[in-house]
Amino acid sequence: MEAVKAELNKTPRSLSKQARRKQLIEATIKCIADKGLSGTTMADVTQQAGLSLGIVNLHFQSKEKLLIETLSYISDEYTSGLNEIFNDDNLTAEQKILAHINFDFSRKIIDRNKLAVWFAFWGETKSRPTYLSICASYISEIANNLTHLFALLKQQGGYSTVNPDLVCTCYTALSDGLWLDLLITPKGLKPAQAQAVAMHYLATQFPNHFKSHTGH
Amino acid sequence: MEAVKAELNKTPRSLSKQARRKQLIEATIKCIADKGLSGTTMADVTQQAGLSLGIVNLHFQSKEKLLIETLSYISDEYTSGLNEIFNDDNLTAEQKILAHINFDFSRKIIDRNKLAVWFAFWGETKSRPTYLSICASYISEIANNLTHLFALLKQQGGYSTVNPDLVCTCYTALSDGLWLDLLITPKGLKPAQAQAVAMHYLATQFPNHFKSHTGH
DNA sequence: CAACTGAATGAATAACCATTCATTTTTACT
DNA sequence: AGTAAAAATGAATGGTTATTCATTCAGTTG
């Protein structure tokens, strides 16, 4: 405790700055979910954060930079969660895939505010390549890791007809589509059901490793 | 020719009005793709259409109504294309599903401008329920039709373990996710490849009817 | 405690943009 | 050709919002 506090005191300003930035980013997420990307004003964000109007420009210089930092924030959260799984040497390929699918549909990720932010930015991607460039690198990194896991499972399980690249593309697209479903029809599909759908697909490819539990 | 002209002359005003509205809607699609939903101004749209600033308010009363009509326009285009397939009594269930998947990844639908519009609106759905209500009815209608087709195929092909509802949810989400891929990584995935991925999934469920051609 | 430093505030500013409407142009019909 | 009605124009308006910055506030140091 004392040590932590002492460490905190080492750089009080910069730490406090980080905390304030995070506070503003989280207010931004809430605002984008509530009012949309176009409907979110500086007044909205600062009010949501309980701070004064000028604070965003003080910490982020401009609204555009705040939005970019917000996208980076949720991207990083997602990527680092997955990397923890990929880099865990105690897990088998099968366990890593299971952990991946659990993570993809966990409470932390399936938060409708955050889903709204994801899709708000996807919708602007074509007109603002910056948004895409933030995600492009992590997207291909995840795809590589996932493809590798599918290739391992193919080898270990003797699934001679499986095409790891194809399965990765299909699983990823399926996962994105289920996220969209969860965002737009909250009453229709529950996270657990969405996960079951994804699992059902994996079961078609690796029947000895994964079972679909949606029979009736 | 004469007959057509005469028919046209019956309601010259309203016809011209319809044409102008369509022209403005198509300009709006282009602008949303180029500048995003938030970045699209009335000046942009009217300039894109080669008309004067006040014209949108004359034909649509407000910007918001123009946007709603634009979403309805692409929704209707999609729905009516699918309904033609569903209602074609000359096609078997298998042929209808094939026609459906061909349509989903056809040039007419996989137009990056239109995809950008779809996702621009999806991204605002949570904050503007109106956008969702425009699509909600046709979404469930399509799901019903598709589920019915899968049920027929199950029956006819003796696929005893297939769950038509599950397959419909999975196929629909997969298709949405592939659309997103086509929008954001145009260099990465081609429409024909995306269609092959969707077909690969159908082949897992109905192996005697559909073949995956992505072996190597 | 007094001087100093940086964070925070919010009134004022300036840019932007949807909408209006008086005017002009086009079309339809006699 | 002449006229009336409809369509189109775009300068002017008014409301909104990002950004600025002079001032206030809080924490740190000597």
Q: What is the pLDDT of chain B when averaged over all its residues?
A: 92
In this prediction, residue A13 has a pLDDT band, given cuts at 50, 70 and 90, of low
Q: What pLDDT is attached to residue A17?
A: 85
Other Cβ atoms closer than 10 A to A71: 22
Give the per-residue pLDDT at A188.
Answer: 85
Q: What is the pLDDT of residues A153-211, one digit of tens each?
A: 999 999 999 999 999 999 999 999 999 999 998 778 999 999 999 999 999 999 999 99
Inform me whether the pLDDT recorded for A93 exceeds 50.
yes
B53-83 b/e (C-beta count within 10 Å ≥ 16 → b):
eebbeebbeeeeebbbbbbebbbeebbebbe
Q: Which amino acid is at A153?
A: L
**Interface-testing mutation among A41, A184, A187, with chain B (most B C-beta atoms within 10 A):** A184
Report CB contact under 8 Å: B172, A177: yes
Q: What are chain B's domains?
A: 1-61 (1.10.10.60), 62-216 (1.10.357.10)
DSSP for A35-60, written as a single string: HHHHH--HHHHHHHHT--TTHHHHHH
Q: What is the pLDDT of residue B216?
A: 46
pLDDT tens digit string along A144-167? 999 999 999 999 999 999 999 999
d(CA B161, C1' C25) / Å: 69
Q: Does A169 touch chain B (CB under 8 A)?
A: yes
Task: Report the pLDDT value the prediction gives residue B188, as an integer from 0 to 100.
Answer: 85
How far out from the chain centre does Cα B110 lie?
A: 8
Sorted by sequence, the CB contacts under 8 Å of residue A94 that are 6+ apart come out as A153, A209
A15-29, B22-36, B55-69: which has the minimum mean pLDDT? A15-29
The average pLDDT across B51-63 equals 97
Note the CA–C1' distance, A50 to C13, in angstroms: 24
CB A196 within 8 A of CB A214: yes
Q: Three-state SS across chain B?
A: CHHHHHHHHHCHHHHHHHHHHHHHHHHHHHHHHHHHHHHCCHHHHHHHHCCCCCHHHHHHCCHHHHHHHHHHHHHHHHHHHHHHHHCCCCCCHHHHHHHHHHHHCCCCCCCHHHHHHHHHHHCCCCCCHHHHHHHHHHHHHHHHHHHHHHHHHHHHHCCCCCCHHHHHHHHHHHHHHHHHHHHHCCCCCCHHHHHHHHHHHHHHHCCCCCCCCCCC
pLDDT of residue B5: 39
Nucleotide nearest to B63 (CA to C1'): C18
* Chain B residue numbers touching A189 (CB-CB < 8 A): 169
At A205, the amino acid letter reads Q
Q: Is B123 touching A (CB cutoff 8 A)?
A: yes
Q: Indicate if the pLDDT at residue A123 is higher than 90.
A: yes
Tell me the pLDDT of chain A averaged across its residues. 91
| Nearest chain B CA: its distance from A18 CA (Å) | 28
Q: Which residue has the tokens 């087709």?
A: B149
Q: Which of A119, A179, A182 to mutate to test the interface with B (most CBs of B within 10 A)?
A: A119
Q: Is the pLDDT of residue B131 over 70?
A: yes
Q: Is A180 close to B177, i.e. CB distance below 8 A?
A: yes
CA distance B40 to B42: 7
- Answer for A12: CB within 7 Å of strand D: yes
Nearest-CA distance from A184 to chain B in Å? 7
Interface contact flag, A169 B184, Cβ < 8 Å: no
| Residue A214 pLDDT class (50, 70, 90 cuts) | low
Q: Which tokens is A184 given?
A: 């737009």
B164-184 and B112-122 are packed helices; what angle lies between their axes, rounded to 10 degrees? 110
pLDDT at B117: 97
CA–CA min distance A186, chain B (Å): 10
- The Å distance, CA of A55 to C1' of D24, is 15
Name the pLDDT band for B13 (thresholds 50, 70, 90).
low
Question: Looking at residue A44, what is its pLDDT?
Answer: 97
CA–C1' A39–D10 (A): 28
In B, minimum Cα distance to A183 occurs at: B126
Sequence-separated (6 or more) residues with CB below 8 Å from residue A22: A73
| pLDDT band at B196; cut points 50, 70, 90 | very high
Sequence-distant (6+) residues with CB within 8 A of A137 are none
Longest dimension (CA), chain A: 61
| Cα distance between the two ends of chain B | 54
CA of B79 to C1' of C17 (A): 34
